[in-house]
Amino acid sequence: MEDEFGADDSLLEAMAAAADRVSSQQSRRLDKPPPTSSSGSKIVQPTPQALPQRGTGSHILVSPRQRGNPILTFIRAMGWEYSDIPADYVMGQTTCALFLSLRYHRLHPEYVYTRIQKLQGKYSLRILLVMVDIPNHEDSLRELSKTSLVNNITIILCWSAAEAGRYLELYKSYEHAGFTAIKGQQATSYADRLVEFVTVPRNLNKSDAVALVANFGSLKNAINADQEQLSMLNGWGGAKVKRWSKAVEEPFRARKATKKAVRKPPAGGNVAQNAARNALLEDAIPISRTMQADSTPGASNPSKAGQFQLRRPG
């Protein structure tokens, strides 16, 4: 029997059966519990990896303001490339260089100070590569040396473009070098340290040290030996005996201490002022005596801890 919409009974029954299957499948999916972890262990977060710092690579970074500088033609041991950097040359992550011609510095003395000011706090090793291209350079170098000391800058002088380029290559090649190349070798065994001690005086070598210890048995006996016994050693002449005896008999502490002399007034000065100054120096009280007076019990106005007062004779 067809209804008012034109659907027969078989079609309605098929639609009802399909609706029942869809609802049963949805209920089964909703009732199914979520899968559980078989191991039951905690979720381990990945460890963040430190990104490597960006370095200059194997090339020397050159500022575009150095375009046309003859130094660039002498950088041949390694490559170089232009880069937007505050310095003129960058030879590593912590090393940079400023190039300055003394001829240009004489015409524009304010240039180098502006460039140094822009490098404050950016590099650990700041180099001022100075090209000496004028005959009278003493005053300019004296001024630049003072500026380098104040601003913690290493100044290097060069007299040619080839020499300047070689300096840049050396600093770049030693970018990752350790300190073992310039570290002195320290003696590890007792024999090596003994030889090092004996050969401190001039003209005493390793053979002399071996002969000294072999004849006297120990370093103590060699130090206490007199010059007659030392002169009997093989290879020990009068000069070596005197140098060894002077080295072991000389006191460790110097006896004469440097003292600054009091400046005397010029002879043509005021007579009254000179006499008053001399009287004041004669009546001056030493600091040690003043400190001793302050430390005595019952002294008036004792000084504070760590301080002392200077008093003039009343």
* Distance separating alpha carbons of residues 81 and 72, to the nearest angstrom: 10
Report DSSP letters for 14-80, one per residue: HHHHHHHHHHHHHHHHHHSPPPPPSS-PPPPPPPPPPPPPP--TTSEEE-GGGTT-GGGGG--SS-E
Domains and CATH numbers, the chain: 60-173 (3.40.50.10130), 190-249 (1.10.150.20)
Sort residue 34 into left (φ over 0), alpha (ψ -120 to 50) or beta.
Answer: beta
pLDDT tens by residue, the chain, 314 residues: 445 555 566 666 766 776 666 566 555 554 555 565 555 567 766 676 655 555 557 889 999 999 989 999 999 988 899 999 999 999 988 899 999 999 999 999 999 999 999 888 888 999 999 999 988 899 999 999 999 999 999 999 999 999 999 999 999 988 887 777 777 777 677 777 878 888 888 778 888 888 888 888 888 888 888 888 888 888 888 888 888 888 888 777 766 555 555 555 555 556 677 777 666 555 544 444 444 444 444 444 444 333 334 344 44
